[in-house]
Amino acid sequence: MQEILFDTVPSLDLADFISGDPAKKKIFVEKLGEAYNNIGFVAIKNHGLNDELTAKLYENVMTFFKLPDEVKSRYEIAGLAGQRGYTGKNKEHAKGRNVGDLKEFYHVGQEIANIPPTDPVKQEYPENVFPNEVPDFRNYTLEAYKILENTGKLMLQAIALYLGLDEYYFDDKVAYGNSILRALHYFPIEDPDSVPADAVRAAAHGDINLITLLMGASAEGLQVLRRDGKWIPITALPDQIVVNVGDMLDRLTNNKLKSTIHRVVNPPREKMNTSRYSIPFFMHPRSEMNLTCLASCIDEDHPKLYSDMTAGEFLNERLIELGLKK
């Protein structure tokens, strides 16, 4: 396939994929594959979220992060490697860096009560933790989680078709998967000279998971590294979410689908004292999913790049690299 250097993130309509029209579905799959072969990001409309839910979700997230640090820290649970509840400021850093990102975040995962009692993952995941001070936080985060998880399944079905797999190849692999809804706060810096010179809101990185679904952030700053080395801003219209390839899908497809490096840059110095909020949904499979490169993605021109491992093993390795796990 000829390489295309996108100047903006390509836009697609998920309604075309689920329309029942084979021609529209085929075009959606082809354009999705083209984007993921090149820039690794697409903007998607008709994704299931509505304006009211998004507004309420952000309202509750902002309310939580405005609480005093000593209150927020009550929801930082030791031993969970940040996989549920609150993670404090500057504690996560990009792979290969020691300087913490200028952010704090809150993680919501699968609700244990929704997992069938016979499914072994019910014993694998920790319980969710919700802040008592923001009573609606639970309802809105769980509602968004459910919608984005379903949208993620549809996106993976389109990806499976593009890869020449059965349309439902990923369905059982993400059923009650280890997905995370992350509420992010890039906190204000009143004195920019008080932080390390190379500290940024989110240093250049690739996401761990299969795909990431990102609703619109409260401010600009997200950039993606194009394959020619140029950083371009990621912007989506108000009715869109951005969906990008993660490292697990890159690994599974032997780098056919690109987990593109991205970052969140600091605002101009005079705006460092302002907040930025963002809520990505990290779509993870079940821990036992085999990430061995697909045989169809390996040939003489594309030798196997990655060692064999499960999703659980890869996640554990990356959490250590990010400084969240010892």
Task: List, for residues 179-216, the tens digit of each pLDDT value.
Answer: 999 999 999 888 877 777 778 888 888 899 999 999 87
Is the pLDDT assigned to residue 113 strictly greater than 70? yes
pTM, two decimal places: 0.93
Nearest to 321 by CA among 86, 142, 92, 116: 92
The amino acid that residue 271 corresponds to is K
What residue spans of 39-99 are helical by DSSP H? 51-65, 69-72
113 has which bridge partners?
none
**66-73 CB contacts, 8 Å cutoff, 24+ apart:** 67/131, 67/133, 67/134, 71/133, 72/104, 72/131
pLDDT of residue 6: 65
Q: What is the mean pLDDT of residues 42-51?
A: 94
Q: What is the mean pLDDT of residues 303-325?
A: 89
Percentage of the chain beyond pLDDT 90 is 66
pLDDT of residue 1: 43
What would the pLDDT profile of 168-182 be if each residue is shown by its tens digit?
A: 999 999 999 999 999
243 has which bridge partners?
42, 213
Residue 2 pLDDT grade (very low, low, confident, very high; cuts 50, 70, 90): very low
Q: What is the mean pLDDT of residues 18-25?
A: 97
pLDDT of residue 217: 64
Residue 246 pLDDT grade (very low, low, confident, very high; cuts 50, 70, 90): very high
State whether residue 148 is helix, strand or coil: helix
pLDDT of residue 16: 98
pLDDT of residue 146: 97
pLDDT of residue 266: 84
Q: Residue 302 carries which DSSP code?
A: B
Distance between CA atoms of 279 and 48, rounded to whole angstroms? Answer: 15
What tokens were used for 76?
A: 């930082």
pLDDT of residue 218: 59
Residue 219 pLDDT grade (very low, low, confident, very high; cuts 50, 70, 90): low
Is the pLDDT assigned to residue 4 strictly greater than 70? no
- Cross-sheet strand order for the sheet of 202-205: 202-205, 262-264, 222-225, 231-233
Residue 281 pLDDT grade (very low, low, confident, very high; cuts 50, 70, 90): very high
What would the pLDDT profile of 284-296 be if each residue is shown by its tens digit?
A: 999 999 999 999 9
pLDDT of residue 37: 86
What would the pLDDT profile of 71-108 be if each residue is shown by its tens digit?
A: 999 999 988 888 999 999 988 877 777 778 889 999 99
Q: What is the mean pLDDT of residues 138-147?
A: 98
What the chain holds in terms of domains, given with CATH numbers, is 11-321 (2.60.120.330)
Residue 260 pLDDT grade (very low, low, confident, very high; cuts 50, 70, 90): confident
